[in-house]
A and B are shown apart, each in its own frame.
Chain A
Amino acid sequence: QVQLKESGPGLVQPSQTLSLTCTVSGLSLTSNSVSWIRQPPGKGLEWMGVIWSNGGTDYNSAIKSRLSISRDTSKSQVFLKMNSLQTEDTAMYFCARSHYYVMDAWGQGASVTVSS
């Protein structure tokens, strides 16, 4: 069955770069798109960006200057990198299989705290 799993450091220092990995199974990244979504503690969801099945990307304009999404299809992995982290970037970060806005399989989430 389709599975996604996020991994990465739980703690990042302010101004540093966040690197997260989404490892997928049961699906091919060359025929499926993957979105990243984040959720600050006790708050709502924010769509961050998507990597399409053809390798193209789209980003939320609010964070586009800091964000990069890439992939390694041979390893079934999607990567998120976001620089210049601040405390307001503290959140649970999810990856999800996406058919545009229809996200039918989600990872468990990776908790990221930005603190010195």
Chain B
Amino acid sequence: DIQMTQSPASLSASLGETVSIECLASEGISNDLAWYQQKSGKSPQLLIYAASSLQDGVPSRFSGSGSGTQYSLKISGMQPEDEGDYFCLQGSKFPLTFGSGTKLEIK
């Protein structure tokens, strides 16, 4: 199985700050990577797919990048509604595997 190592496990950011979350795959995943946001008590929501494509309706302050085994999610200008947990998901090989998650809080 492909292992997804996500970092950091937790992050505290001030309003307006730019934050980055990383995912490292145990082998190349050819940009088959998505990012999800999960707010407390809610189901996950799709933010980014194909490593860098923004899902419809997602604010443009979210962006994704990367290639090969290294991928990142950037939030350019932290907003209060961005608090939550973030997960990456690789879709290169079955079984699909998630990163362990990043808890993002407002400082």
Selected from A46, A58, A94, A96, the residue in CB contact (under 8 A) with B94 is A58
Q: Is the CB of B95 within 8 A of A61?
A: yes
Q: Is the CB of B34 within 8 A of A101?
A: yes
Count of CB-CB pairs between chains A and B under 8 Å: 59
Size bracket, chain A contacts: 20 to 34
Q: Is the CB of A108 within 8 A of B43?
A: yes
Selected from A47, A103, A104, the residue in CB contact (under 8 A) with B95 is A47
Chain A binding surface SS class? strand
Q: Is the CB of B91 within 8 A of A107?
A: no
A44 at the interface (CB under 8 A from B): yes
Q: Is the CB of A47 within 8 A of B98?
A: yes
Chain B binding surface SS class? loop
B83 at the interface (CB under 8 A from A): no
Interface of B with A (CB < 8 Å)? 1, 32-34, 36, 43-46, 49-50, 55, 87, 89-91, 94-101
20 A-B pairs besides A44-B99, A60-B95, A103-B89 with CB distance below 8 A are A37-B44, A45-B87, A45-B98, A47-B89, A58-B95, A61-B1, A62-B95, A100-B32, A101-B32, A101-B33, A101-B89, A102-B46, A102-B49, A102-B50, A103-B36, A103-B44, A104-B55, A106-B44, A107-B43, A108-B43
Interface of A with B (CB < 8 Å)? 35, 37, 44-47, 58-62, 94, 96, 100-104, 106-109
